[in-house]
């Protein structure tokens, strides 16, 4: 197959393939794929109406993601991947495989080997939980929000629009500059967050900004696929008590009322991030697998 580097300009051409994949892991979304296309050196090809992605998933490891589109014969689609791997002289590997698709793969290839890493797992929450923050287990979040409301009675949450896009972008850019990390994943995520805001007409991302005293103190970006709201980027000022909790709650209320679940993506093995995500009591960790098919 003729694989081509994935470019931002390919979004509209490939978007229909994502709409047919009702997978709840972030790798199955437009944002999750295009925001990380450079990091994973993503290439794509289309054959018989099926979309295939080839990536560098781990350092030096070439793999393919599960195919996208109307797939009448999964076995045939994976045979296409095996044939491509044989032509390249590499082991046939499939990455970012959800648990459901892993089961399907093992039915086709019982001898396939697979592995996962806790750092890859997405955090899935009931939308209702993050909207209401009800019950004793969310008392800490409510306490922070109440403190925020007492300190900032004039707060507001503004939906991303052309009127505030530049200001929200400036917030993200300033936040990234003031809190740098020597982490390649973090840096690339920041870079692509700004790209999203520069090309909203292509990404079609949802977003909003939390204000206090007229200034933006937090912002988040995401998208909906099927019954799930995906949060691709989320930043707030750490020095403002309750800002993060208020941002999570307001983003969920604004965009999550018509979905069943909210995916706040993985923690990349960062302990502080893991603690923060667990504090919101996910209903499930969506494991992702790297599968090596028989040659």
In contact, 130 and 279? CB cutoff 8 Å: no
CB burial readout 65-95, b (16+ within 10 A) else e? bbbbbebeeeeebbebbbebbeeeeebbbbb
pLDDT of 68-106, one tens digit each? 998 989 999 999 999 999 999 999 999 999 999 999 999
Q: How many CA atoms lie within 13 A of 281 on its CB side?
A: 15
* CA atoms 131, 134, 139, 145: torsion sign: positive
H-state helical runs in the chain: 11-19, 30-34, 74-88, 99-108, 127-132, 139-151, 165-178, 184-198, 200-203, 243-255, 271-278
- The secondary structure of the chain in percent helix, strand, coil, rounded to multiples of 5, reads 40, 25, 30
- 274 token code pair: 């893991």
Same fold yes or no, 4-121 and 122-265: yes
What CATH superfamily classification does 122-265 receive?
Gcn5-related N-acetyltransferase (GNAT) (3.40.630.30)
Q: How far is CA 226 from CA 28, 144, 166, 230, in A?
A: 11, 31, 29, 10
pLDDT level of residue 180 (50, 70, 90 thresholds): confident
- 57 token code pair: 């998933």
Q: What is the CATH number of domain 4-121?
A: 3.40.630.30
Q: Is 12 helix (H, G, I), strand (E, B) or coil?
A: helix
Q: How far is CA 87 from CA 16, 121, 295, in A?
A: 29, 31, 11
The whole-angstrom separation of Cα 199 and Cα 8 is: 9
Position 20 pLDDT exceeds 80: no
Q: Crossing angle of helices 243-255/139-151, nearest 10°?
A: 100
Q: Bridge partners of 53?
A: 44
What is the share, in percent, of the chain residues with pLDDT greater than 70? 100
Q: Bridge partners of 261?
A: 126, 228
pLDDT of residue 59: 86
pLDDT of 225-278, one tens digit each? 999 999 999 999 999 999 999 999 999 999 999 999 999 999 998 899 999 999
Tell me the mean pLDDT in the region 152-165: 98
Q: Is 128 helix (H, G, I), strand (E, B) or coil?
A: helix
Q: Is 129 helix (H, G, I), strand (E, B) or coil?
A: helix
What are the domain boundaries of the chain?
A: 4-121, 122-265
Position 295 pLDDT exceeds 90: no
pLDDT of residue 107: 97
Q: Bridge partners of 54?
A: 43, 64
Q: Which of 1, 87, 101, 7 is nearest to 51 (CA)?
A: 1
pTM of the model: 0.95
pLDDT level of residue 24 (50, 70, 90 thresholds): very high
């Amino acid at each position: 197959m003729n694989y081509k580097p994935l470019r931002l300009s390919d979004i509209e051409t490939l978007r229909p393939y994502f709409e047919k994949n009702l997978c709840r892991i972030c790798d199955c979304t437009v944002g999750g794929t295009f925001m990380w296309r450079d990091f994973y050196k993503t290439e794509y090809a289309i054959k018989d109406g099926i979309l295939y992605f080839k990536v560098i998933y781990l350092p030096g490891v070439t793999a393919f993601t599960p195919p996208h589109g109307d797939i009448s014969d999964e076995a045939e689609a994976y045979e296409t991947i095996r044939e491509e791997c044989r032509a390249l002289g590499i082991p046939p590997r499939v990455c970012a495989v959800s648990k459901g698709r892993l089961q399907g793969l093992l039915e086709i290839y019982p001898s396939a080997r697979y592995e996962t890493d806790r750092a890859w797992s997405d955090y899935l929450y009931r939308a209702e939980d993050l909207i209401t923050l009800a019950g004793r287990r969310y008392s800490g979040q409510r306490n922070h929000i109440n403190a925020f409301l007492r300190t900032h009675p004039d707060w507001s949450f503004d939906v991303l629009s052309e009127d505030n896009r530049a200001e929200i972008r400036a917030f993200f850019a300033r936040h990234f500059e003031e809190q740098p990390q020597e982490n390649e994943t973090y840096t690339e995520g920041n870079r692509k967050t700004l790209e999203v805001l520069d090309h909203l007409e292509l990404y079609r991302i949802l977003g909003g900004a939390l204000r206090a005293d007229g200034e933006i103190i937090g912002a988040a970006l995401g998208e909906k696929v099927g019954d799930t709201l995906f949060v691709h980027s989320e930043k707030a000022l750490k020095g403002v008590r309750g800002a993060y909790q208020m941002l999570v709650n307001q983003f969920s209320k604004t965009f999550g009322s018509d979905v069943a679940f909210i995916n706040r993506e993985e923690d990349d093995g960062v302990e502080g991030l893991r603690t923060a995500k667990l504090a919101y009591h996910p209903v499930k960790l969506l494991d992702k697998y790297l599968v090596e098919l028989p040659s």
